[in-house]
Each structure stands twice: as structure tokens, then as C-alpha cells.
Chain A
């Protein structure tokens, strides 16, 4: 056993209102620099939808993530055996997305509103490219271009997750009474088996041993840009002005001091929580090779029970601090993903073992007989629990997003969520059909205890800031390699230090 700690974020999708507050606070803190304008380390996309960059989930095109071939785990990018192929493509990357797959960063010529000469027409602020400084004919793409299913025949219908849906299920894109969408907020997953790290020829990307945060060493990065291609979530971004790749840093300067990440802190829906997980690093390869059907279960297996005395003892032996062990024992991530089994990883089939977890959204039950006649909801039928697979959001779609195609893990999550809700409703109003005995039957059938339900209820509705963000402080004082020069050099600077000079090209 090789115990390591990992910080992990959870998203309760039912509560996300798609306000992009998270993205904006992240941007304001980290990416308002030249070359980084187009980057959204945190982005929120509408599902069904193409996402950002366009169709990032389509690995036939981008070849991100891992595949199992001949019993061994291999980067999809490599296509052939060995890594030599990576190096052969160093001069030109066939699978690299370009800025046009994200969007051309722009500003508006606001000055014109003030300076335009008097005339018959209202002056306008025309869009101006932040790359070339030239006026743009029109803006054709943005970071949330198909928000709320805008232009769905063009965009949402290309969503790779629609794979395997029946024609009538696909009407959810076009028929008003079947329409649905929800929001998918995304940051880097700080994976256990990160493809970005594995693809970097320079060894510039690394996972931090103490908290599992994946970072790009800015001094070592040489713009070989393999990480951008290899990450199936497209979360490393290439800074075209400085010639370095950058990515979400899990706000480590904040989490190291026990503060919540900027995105999570700002979240208006309070959908996010952050916690510590313990995992067994010896099993990463084995778990990442698990067949799709068992993948989510295997990801639960690699996490260790932080309350198990053996695990605690081993954690202490390898030098994990007391406050980290305590945090792991109160971890929202462990509870949501492993204990209550209601949260799921995003696209586990990419096999990077992503460490962010999503509670899949509920939606109204669709009664098909009536739906065909134009109605969607049968007010007589209030049996949500047993008909959970008839939700408007097809389980297939959710399974493609969160279960590596396995519908069972999604149904389990939805049923457990519904059971906990009905249990609470019975507690509060006592009006659930069938009364207490029906409710306890439901709980038994999904394997939850009343106590679990109370805890779930507390975490997803009432929990205070401290309960949602259980982030232990990092003991920097124990650092073995403090370079005093660096401490002073970086003092009083922001971002990547006092490198104010433009590195590439001219400033327009």
C-alpha cells in the first residue's frame, strides 16, 4: 500500500444555475493576462452541447486520454507502441486544437463611443481581436457560445454524449415538451493517472505528492504542447503570447492556507464542496485498466477508508499530517463518491482517474404514453422512485457523461438521491404514499440508512462553509527545499513573477 492524499472537488449539478460566476472569479484571479484571455480554467457549459473547446469529448478527433491495448495502458495520442511517436510529432502536432476551436479573444472598441464624430448614426463599439488588434468582421465563437442550448441544431446535436440515444430520446433537442438541458461546470480534474503529465516530453508537468494537485513548471515547459492534445478534458491551455502551457492550479496558494478555491468560494449556487481523499498509489495502473462497466466501481475501490485504523496508521507512518487525516475523515468527497455513492466522475472512460465528482441532475419524470399525445406529466402518478429511469434527461445520456456508459451507476445515484428526498419529505410532511413503511422499503432497496439521509440532506442543503470546504492547511514549514533566493525574488510580484516583458511579437 502506498497511501497518498488528494484534494478533490464535488459539483451538485441540480443546483448549478449556469451563472458563470465561478468562471469569472477564476478569470479575474488567474487569466487576465495577454495570451491567456481565451483560457477559462473554470468553464461552465450547457449539456447537451458542444462545450469548450468545441466537442472536446470527441477523442477520435483529439486523441486525448488513455486506452488499453494488449493488456497495457497507453496514451491514445501515441497510436503506436512506445513513446517515440510523441517525439516524432514534436514539430507539428496532428491532434492539437487551435484557437478557432476555442474562440478568438476579443475586446470592443469602446473609445469609438466617446470619440466618434457627430453624425446621423449611433456610434457602435466594433469587436477587435486581442491577437492581431484588427477589427473583426463578426464574433463567431465564444467560451459559452451554445449556452442554454442556443443554436442547438448546430451545436448540441453534435454532442458526443448523444451516442446510443433512440430517435425519440433525441427529440429532447427539438421538441419543446421534451427539451432539457443542464450545466456542467468544469475545472481540471487533477487526475490520479494524468494524461497531461504522461505526455509531456520535458517532464514539466507533475503531480504534487502531498495534495495531488497537477501543475506545469513554467520554467521547464518548452511549448512542445503535448499536454493540450493528451488531456481528454482539454484543461491545459497554450499561452500563445508567452510560449508556455498553463492550467488550473486548484488555487493552491489558497488551499495551502486552508481557503476554498476561487471558483468554489464564489459559487452562487453553493453547488461545490472540496475534500481530501486517500488513495493507494500502487493500484493506479491496475484500476485505470478496468473495463468500462466496472470503472466507476474500481475508482471507488482505489480510495481508502480514512476511518479504518489500519489506513490511519499507515498514513501516519508515511508522514501524512494529523490535520490531513482529520480532514479526510470529514471529507465531502469521500462521502459523496464512495460512502453514499451519489457522485460520479466525469467521463471515467478516458482512464485518467479524474478526481472531481458530479452529482447527476434530477429531472421531471416523462410519462411516455402521455408524452406522445402531447403531454409530459401525469399528475396522478407520483411514483418518482420506481420510474426514475423515465426522467426527461435520458439515463443513457447521463451514463455517457458520468458512467463510462454504465447506466446502473447513474440509476443507483438517482435512486439514492430520490430515496433521501422522499425520506426527508416523510419526516417533514408525512405525506409520502405508503407512509413510513414505503419509505423504509425504498431506503432498504438502495442501501441507505436514515442517518445517511440526514447527513446527505445536511451536506447538500444546510451545510456551512466549513462543512463544505474541508481543506487542511499544508505544512510548508516542513519543506525541505526552500530556496531563499526564490522567496525574495518572488516577493511583491503576481502571477508568474516580475516578467513584465512581452516575450513574443509586438504589442499593438
Chain B
């Protein structure tokens, strides 16, 4: 029963909240959409927090997404033990990297007077949820070998069952508590996106930068001669 609620019904509530919230905030309150960088107020500790955190978490997230989309690749890769160890070891080190970064960020938020003055309840909640997520993730990897195998074998099928609107709780109901917390907390994380600075990585606009010319020009009326851009060199 509790499993059905947590892994059969709650995903829809939380994901709907996330998607509707993101759309609402992006259309109605774009001005608030920002990474809310605090480097301007403190930039020594941030270096040791932000770099490890972002590189660690982004690579791990990419791994999760690859596993979600093409689980067979992960399973195929893992069929040779050497490759399995390589993958697990990489994942584990990235996890520790992210944990180190995150703990630094939390320490910084709680100790630096300037950053503290700008910390809202949402910021604390975000860091807490992320801490739970990273710690349980590492717990999975260390306690229940091999995580990458059963992620592809159990968690991914469950996620697809949710995404195809036929939630099948059986995939996850027998998983250990740590893993269940990891999964449920992930959905809380999604739900938090529209309400916090986490929005900063959703509609990421920098991707165009690599291709666009350096300069950007806007006209308030159509021009007889030229296009939008001023200087064409990249």
C-alpha cells in the first residue's frame, strides 16, 4: 500500500508539479530565473565547492540518463567484469567528488556571513535534498553491488512503467530502504526545481553560444539591409 502510494501515485503528483511549475515560472516570472550566483560575495570556498560539485553531479546525472534511455548498453558494457569495475569505480569517485563539493557548499552557506545573509529557506532545502540524494546514492553503490546492473535491471523498468502511465510498483517494492529513499528523494528533487534556484539548469540557454557569432544586435524595426548579427567572426 505504502509502496503504491510512494512509487505508483506520488511520482505523478510530483512530476506534474515540476513540469507545471517550470512552465508557469518560465512564462510568468522569467525575471526570477537565475543561478543566483553568490561568487560575487565569496569566491574562495566556492571554488572548492562549485567545481567538484557540478562536474561530479553532472557526469553522474548523464550516466543516469544514458541508463534510462538505453539500459541495454549499460548491461552489455557490464558483461565483462573489468569494464564493470571501471564503470563502478568511476561512478563512485564522481560521487565522492560531488559529495565533497556539496559538503563544501553547505559549509560555505552556513558559515560565511555574507552568503548566509542571502540564504533563503529554499536554498537550505535544496542543499538538504541534494545531500540526502548523494549520500543514499553512494550508499547504494557501496552496500548493494553492483548498482549499475540493478539500476538498469530494476529501477529503469520502473521508471519506464511510470513514464508510460502503467506504474508497476513490483519493480521497486523489494529494494532496500536506502535505495527507496534515493528514488523517492529524486522525485522530491524534481518537484523542487520550479520553486528554487535549481531552475538554473533547466532552460539552459548557453548552448547556442558555441555557434553564434560573438556579437548580438537587436532591432526594434525590420531593417532594409542587414540581419540580426553585427560581426560574423566566431
Q: Which 5 pairs show the lowest CB-CB distances between chains A and B?
A: A201-B206, A243-B34, A505-B118, A243-B36, A198-B214
Is the CB–CB distance between B221 and A479 below 8 Å? yes
Q: Which residues of A contact B216 (CB under 8 A)?
A: 197, 200, 203, 205-207
Interchain residue pairs with CB less than 8 A apart (20): A83-B209, A86-B209, A87-B209, A132-B116, A194-B215, A197-B214, A201-B209, A202-B205, A203-B209, A207-B216, A207-B218, A238-B40, A243-B36, A243-B37, A281-B231, A317-B224, A479-B220, A480-B221, A505-B118, A506-B117
Contact with B along A469-508 (1 / 0, CB 8 A): 0000000101111000000000000001101000111101
Known: A208-B220, A479-B220. A92 touches B209 (CB 8 A): no
Is residue B50 contacting chain A, with contact meaning CB distance below 8 A? yes
Complex Cα gap A193–B229 (Å): 12
CB of B151 to closest CB in A, whole Å: 26
Complex Cα gap A201–B214 (Å): 10
Is the CB–CB distance between A90 and B117 below 8 Å? no
Is residue B33 contacting chain A, with contact meaning CB distance below 8 A? yes
Is the CB–CB distance between A87 and B206 below 8 Å? yes
Is the CB–CB distance between B39 and A208 below 8 Å? no
Interface residues of B in 184-234 (CB under 8 A from A): 197, 200, 205-206, 208-210, 212, 214-226, 230-234
Known: A201-B206, A203-B212. A319 touches B37 (CB 8 A): no
Contact with B along A88-111 (1 / 0, CB 8 A): 001111001011000000000000
Known: A93-B39, A201-B209. A504 touches B118 (CB 8 A): yes
Is residue A133 contacting chain B, with contact meaning CB distance below 8 A? yes
Contact with B along A197-225 (1 / 0, CB 8 A): 11011111111111000000011111111
Known: A96-B43, A503-B36, A504-B118. A209 touches B210 (CB 8 A): no
Q: Which of B35, B41, B233 contacts A73 (CB 8 A)?
A: B233
CB of B29 to closest CB in A, whole Å: 8
Contact with B along A48-77 (1 / 0, CB 8 A): 000000000000000000000000110100
Q: Which residues of B contact A224 (CB under 8 A)?
A: 35, 37, 206
CB of B199 to closest CB in A, whole Å: 9
Complex Cα gap A478–B208 (Å): 30
Sorting the interface of chain A by its residue count into under 10, 10 to 19, 20 to 34 or 35 or more gives 35 or more
A-side residues, CB < 8 A to B, are 2, 72-73, 75, 82-84, 86-87, 90-93, 96, 98-99, 131-134, 193-194, 197-198, 200-210, 218-225, 228, 238, 240-244, 281, 284-285, 317-319, 476, 478-481, 496-497, 499, 503-506, 508
Is the CB–CB distance between A206 and B47 below 8 Å? no
Q: Which residues of B contact A202 (CB under 8 A)?
A: 205-206, 209
Known: A87-B210, A479-B220. A285 touches B118 (CB 8 A): no
Complex Cα gap A505–B35 (Å): 14
Complex Cα gap A219–B34 (Å): 9
Contact with A along B52-88 (1 / 0, CB 8 A): 0111000000000000000000000000000000000
Is the CB–CB distance between A497 and B31 below 8 Å? yes
Q: Which of B50, B120, B209, B233 contacts A504 (CB 8 A)?
A: B120
CB of A482 to closest CB in B, whole Å: 9
Is residue B42 contacting chain A, with contact meaning CB distance below 8 A? yes
Is residue B113 contacting chain A, with contact meaning CB distance below 8 A? yes
What residue of chain B has the Cβ atom nearest to residue A237's Cβ? B40
What residue of chain A has the Cβ atom nearest to residue B112's Cβ? A132
B-side residues, CB < 8 A to A, are 29-43, 46-47, 50-51, 53-55, 113-114, 116-120, 197, 200, 205-206, 208-210, 212, 214-226, 230-234
Is the CB–CB distance between B117 and A505 below 8 Å? yes
Is the CB–CB distance between B34 and A242 below 8 Å? yes
What residue of chain A has the Cβ atom nearest to residue B234's Cβ? A83
Is the CB–CB distance between A225 and B39 below 8 Å? yes
Complex Cα gap A208–B215 (Å): 11
Q: Which residues of B contact A73 (CB under 8 A)?
A: 233
Is the CB–CB distance between B224 and A319 below 8 Å? yes
Complex Cα gap A284–B119 (Å): 44
Q: Which of A197, A223, A318 contacts B37 (CB 8 A)?
A: A223
Is the CB–CB distance between B219 and A505 below 8 Å? no
Is the CB–CB distance between B205 and A209 below 8 Å? no
Q: Which of B30, B224, B225, B230 contacts A219 (CB 8 A)?
A: B30
Is the CB–CB distance between B36 and A92 below 8 Å? no
Known: A197-B215, A209-B223. A91 touches B50 (CB 8 A): yes
Complex Cα gap A201–B232 (Å): 16
Q: Which residues of A contact B46 (CB under 8 A)?
A: 92
Complex Cα gap A70–B51 (Å): 31
Known: A87-B209, A91-B51, A132-B113. A99 touches B226 (CB 8 A): no
Q: Which residues of B contact A228 (CB under 8 A)?
A: 40
Complex Cα gap A75–B209 (Å): 13
Complex Cα gap A503–B230 (Å): 34
Complex Cα gap A4–B216 (Å): 14
Is the CB–CB distance between A207 and B210 below 8 Å? no
Is the CB–CB distance between A203 and B208 below 8 Å? yes
Complex Cα gap A219–B209 (Å): 17
Complex Cα gap A281–B41 (Å): 38
Is the CB–CB distance between A209 and B31 below 8 Å? no
Complex Cα gap A198–B208 (Å): 12
Complex Cα gap A285–B223 (Å): 21
Complex Cα gap A55–B210 (Å): 31
Is the CB–CB distance between B40 and A98 below 8 Å? yes
Q: Which of A92, A197, A219 contacts B31 (CB 8 A)?
A: A219
What residue of chain A has the Cβ atom nearest to residue B29's Cβ? A499
Q: Which residues of B contact A225 (CB under 8 A)?
A: 37, 39-40
